[in-house]
Amino acid sequence: MGRIVLDTVTKSFGDAQVIPPLDLTIEDGEFAVFVGPSGCGKSTLLRLIAGLEDTTSGKIAIDGNDVTQVPPSKRGLAMVFQSYALYPHMSVRKNIAFPMRMAKMDQAEIDKKVEAAATSLNLLDYLDKKPGQLSGGQRQRVAIGRAIVREPAAFLFDEPLSNLDAALRVGMRMEILELHKKLNTTMIYVTHDQVEAMTMADKIVVLRAGNIEQVGSPLELYRNPRNLFVAGFIGSPTMNLITGAAAGSHGAETIGVRPEHISVSATEGTWSGTVGVSEHLGSDTFFHVHGTGLADTITVRADGEVDFKYGETIHLTPRSDVIHRFDAQGLRLG
Amino acid sequence: MAIVAETSRFSKTGRPILAWIVGLIFFFPIFWLVLTSFKTDADAVKPEHLIFFTPTLENYLNMTENYDYWRFAQNSVITSVFATIFALVVGIPCAYAMAFNPTRATKDVLMWMLSTKMLPAAAVLYPMTFITKSVGLFDTHFMVIVVLCLINLPIVIWMLFTYFKEIPKDIIEAAQMDGVNTWGEVREILIPLAWGGIVSTALLCFIFCWNEAYWTVRLTTTEAATLSKLIEGNRAPEGLFFGRLSAVSAAAVGPIVVLGWFCQKQLVQGLTFGAVK
């Protein structure tokens, strides 16, 4: 079990309030991702749940029990840190066994669980090595192993993949997802990378300056961003935001069109401009189009290998059924 | 290239020679002390017996037979060991709290502790003597231990604080998440990770306690008197007996020099801990 409820939780450091009153429920077994730009309070929120920071006011409950005043060691949660935070003076085996040893478990049981965790995380050959002798990916797996053996009510991940290179990051992402499917335990994952959020989450919590901007599934956020901030944050490349007459013609202050919802043509279209830099990925081609009179740059995503030369005139047509409309306050219309 | 070659030639030959010269200059007083301790009081002041003389153990025999050297040595060991232990027992939790749970006052507290070292000891001599005498603690081991512990505590806390600050906070927090209480954090994580620093702090504290003379000379007479008192007691009113004084001094500094020699690796390691990252 691992249902986590935050009830009007606030956090201030001195006079600065970093988390204004906030309510949030994470259901048992859910994979929730806190996402937002640097300094938005996502890590602070995770640390409040972990108990590593004290709440200024409000209540945190895990499985119905108020844990607001409970120390981190007694909350039954496990955390994986960005820096791995392994114990450098202990071998991999001792690192993984540590929480069980602290819980005074039977040695035979500890050995069995360490073996099982090491097997599932491909760490069997490294059990007697020290963390300093391992690669970044292996270290992160040890950190995950140390978290698994506790059988926690929920796992907390604080940007666990940020220190890994791109290829390893994708691999580890899949491993964490596999783990979630296998254990079916609540996981809360903090990242500033919206691709990680979109690919991993059951529920995304978008944060800005400590405020929750929107909560929903990845596709809900993608299809119906509640405001301009979420619209600009979710999706890669980011949504094109257009103001002025083009927006006015849709009865909005600002309209948003995703790059993949604009078709390109050499001969005709609603808007036209000149091709700037193109990014050819094989499966897709991204064009950065200038001089449309709509915005500095309009980004367009075309399927497959499409070739327009630098400086060439291009015609763009947005799909009218997926144009997002926002009012003067930046809130979604309709 | 020429600069590189010159630099490497200097590091290969020049640097060790320079190090030896500096080392010998520093070691010379000790050498001189030991040499004089094997001379008679008469020989010690005669220029013709500067290097060549007939060695004698007279001063050492005199010291053990007439001055009860072992009792003073025992007092030095007892007071230094216990003062060091108490300083660590108080210093470790204190440095831990300031390193991992700093508040706005932490810096000020650290500076305040250091500022106590700036107070001239003579300024509190009278109240200290008066208080210890009036509560019946004058010339007791307990009082010497407390005084030695307190005068070294600021340095101990500062050193430990510096070592503890080198330990990433994430590791302490990971331990908290792994179900460890505060004592467990100290025992399982802090002490093993900062072991080098703790040992060098303890060694330095022990050396300072052993060498302390101002208070141990003034607040003791016989019962808790340390080797510093023994040296001081050998200043005879009719003049200085250099041979005798040298033997007492050599016997007082000897144990600490031997300890320092065996622990030099640990000391250097501890004192340069975190200097290179």
pLDDT at A260: 95
Contacts of A50 in chain B (CB under 8 A): 177
Whether the CB-CB separation of A192 and A36 falls below 8 Å is answered with: yes
Nearest CA-CA partner of B193 in B176, B173, B171, B174: B171
Q: How far apart are CA A7 and CA A273, in angstroms?
A: 50
Contacts of A146 in chain B (CB under 8 A): 174, 178
| Residue of A51, A83, A102 lying closest to B178 (CB–CB) | A102
Interface probe with A: pick from B177, B187, B191, most Cβ of A within 10 Å: B177
- Render the burial of A235-264: b for 16+ CB within 10 Å, e for the rest: beeebbbbeeebbeebebbbbbbbbbbbeb
Interface probe with A: pick from B171, B178, B186, B191, most Cβ of A within 10 Å: B178
pLDDT digits (tens, 9 = 90+) for A138-168: 999 999 999 999 899 999 999 999 888 888 8
pLDDT at B274: 47
* pLDDT above 60 for B277: no
User: B178 vs A52: CB contact, 8 Å cut-off?
Assistant: no
CA B238 to chain centre: 32
User: B170 vs A81: CB contact, 8 Å cut-off?
Assistant: yes
The ipTM value here is 0.86
User: B177 vs A83: CB contact, 8 Å cut-off?
Assistant: no
Q: List, as ranges, residues 193-212 from B with C-beta within 8 Å of A.
A: 193
User: A102 vs B189: CB contact, 8 Å cut-off?
Assistant: no
What residue ranges in A70-127 does DSSP mark as E strands? Answer: 77-80
pLDDT at A220: 96
All domains in chain A, ordered by first residue: 4-227 (3.40.50.300), 237-326 (2.40.50.140)
Nearest CA in chain A to B185: A102
| Residue of B170, B181, B192 lying closest to A83 (CB–CB) | B170
Contacts of A82 in chain B (CB under 8 A): 170
Whether the CB-CB separation of B231 and B248 falls below 8 Å is answered with: yes
- With a CB cutoff of 8 Å and minimum separation 6, the contacts of A105 are none
All domains in chain B, ordered by first residue: 1-67+234-253 (no CATH), 70-226 (1.10.3720.10)
Q: How far apart are CA B163 and CA A249, in angstroms?
A: 66
Residue B6 pLDDT level (bands cut at 50, 70, 90): low
pLDDT at B237: 60
Q: What is the DSSP letter of A133?
A: G
| Residue of A78, A86, A89 lying closest to B177 (CB–CB) | A78
* pLDDT above 70 for B270: no
The secondary structure element, H or E, covering residue A36 is none
Q: What's the pTM? A: 0.81
* pLDDT above 80 for A66: yes
Q: What are phi and psi of A301, to 5 degrees?
A: -115, 125
Contacts of A73 in chain B (CB under 8 A): 176-181
Interface probe with B: pick from A77, A87, A142, most Cβ of B within 10 Å: A87
